[in-house]
Amino acid sequence: MIEKHIEHTLLKPEATTADIIKLCMEARNHNFLGVCVNPCFVPLAKHLLAGTEVKVVTVVGFPLGCDEPEVKAAAAQRAVQNGADEVDMVINIGALKGRDNAFAVEDIRQVVEAAGSAPVKVIIETCLLNEEEKIRACGMIAKGGAAFVKTSTGFNKAGATVEDVALLSAEAQKLGLRVKAAGGIRDYATARAMLEAGAERLGCSAGVKLAEEERLECGAAAADEAQA
């Protein structure tokens, strides 16, 4: 079921408390894997999802990745103290593109250390990178000790593509990483293609729509089998 891959996401700056309550209630009702919210909403989401298996995920250095490593680390530590189960950080994209590998790895390492037992996903913003940079980013993420490579913030010029997910998945398998696709996943067909390409998690705001489309498709398939 696709619900077990979805991190139901609301990171828009104009999101209100009422919006987050709605998001969390949808996640409870559909038993999504998690919700992904901005840090200020972590305590509320944790309260609303108490007693469920829905994870609370938040973001660090979002959406640009340009904070100092110490600032990202402090934000990650605070988020976990407030109840975040997982942390999605943005890689320092300029360091990656400028081949300042040591700085980029240290940036990741500090967040991973500050997050403790909470898994860290590293957003690399694939739409800004060439193939070599995407592959090199995976190596940095593994070296920094993070758990996932994540395609996109959803706030840049493009989100996840099936081709990028396949590329990252092939590299991730070599390095012991997992893949989260995010950005622009608005229908079940796209979501299924991302999973088939190797994504384990899907970060999207259209989680309810995807779940409903899956049920419709499965229902239609069952009806066809019954008539055969």
To the query of whether residue 46 is one of the catalytic residues in this protein, the response is: no
Alpha-carbon distance values, 74 to 67, 108, 116 (Å): 11, 12, 12
- CB atoms under 10 Å from CB of 142, counted, come to 20
Cα separation, 220 vs 225, in Å, equals 9
**b/e sequence 104-140, b meaning 16+ C-beta within 10 Å:** bbbbbbbbbebbeebbbbbbbbbbbbeeebbebbbeb
For residue 150, what are the β-bridge partners?
Answer: 123, 180
To the query of whether residue 67 is one of the catalytic residues in this protein, the response is: no
Q: Which of 72, 121, 134, 180 is catalytic?
A: 180
To the query of whether residue 150 is one of the catalytic residues in this protein, the response is: yes
Q: Which of 55, 85, 150, 164 is catalytic?
A: 150
Q: Which of 67, 85, 88, 107 is catalytic?
A: 88
Phi, psi (rounded to 5 degrees) for 185: -90, 95
Alpha-carbon distance values, 111 to 46, 96, 146 (Å): 21, 16, 9
Residues with a known catalytic role:
88, 150, 180
